[in-house]
Structure 1
Amino acid sequence: MAMIEPFDDEDPLAFVERADTLKVSEEIVTDALKQHFGINEDVEIKKLKLQSKVFWEAFYFDHIRDLFTRDGSRYAAVKFIQRKNDFAEERRKLTEKEIERLVDSVGEWRW
């Protein structure tokens, strides 16, 4: 199990995003947030984790990969991300270019 400690100048969100990139377990991230940042409320920890752009890119990727394997359309994949992205906070909102890159990263779409 990977251990992770926050950098001296790292804010809680940057720490969570770095942990998401390294695929550190949720338990370890939660413990680090409590110990190093004094964030003890589960609701606050969850809100913070849901602000992670890395988390949302992985979430979108999993969804569009499933759509791709079911022979879904590229258009449906783009629209799904755009629709969810409309409700995203500025910190985790993907640009149109990032959406296109993410959708195309699963392979050559038939539709």
Structure 2
Amino acid sequence: MMAATKAQSTKKGRDNYGRNYDRGRSCEEKIARSLRGSGWSVSLSPGSRGWDLTARKNGRTRRIQIKCLSSRRIGSAAVARTRIAHRPWNIKTIPAGAEVWVIDADGRRYIIRGPA
């Protein structure tokens, strides 16, 4: 049997366990519906392994990582970039052709792209 994670070791963590995954997955599904409405063929990765979404259209492929902030408001793309570069995500570089979409509490979407 595996040892309990830090989240499982406290009452607050146990009460919240699994909710972050559920919130993130519902946000991914919302973005997938939006992309499908724009004509993209979208697949969600099982268990959010690798990229959350892979979208294809006219021979173009987009690898998208989704970050939903349920309690934060972000005012600009620069703030979104700073936010993902630190805890808990620590995304320092984005690979070529990849995107990180940051959705804030008000539903604003910031798309941060890796080099072309």
Indicate the TM-score class for this superposition, using the shorter chain for normalisation.
under 0.3
TM-score, length-scaled by structure 2: 0.27
Larger relative contact order, structure 1 or 2 (CA cutoff 8 Å, min sep 6): 1
Greater share of strand residues, 1 or 2?
A: 2
Greater share of helix residues, 1 or 2?
A: 1
TM-score, length-scaled by structure 1: 0.27
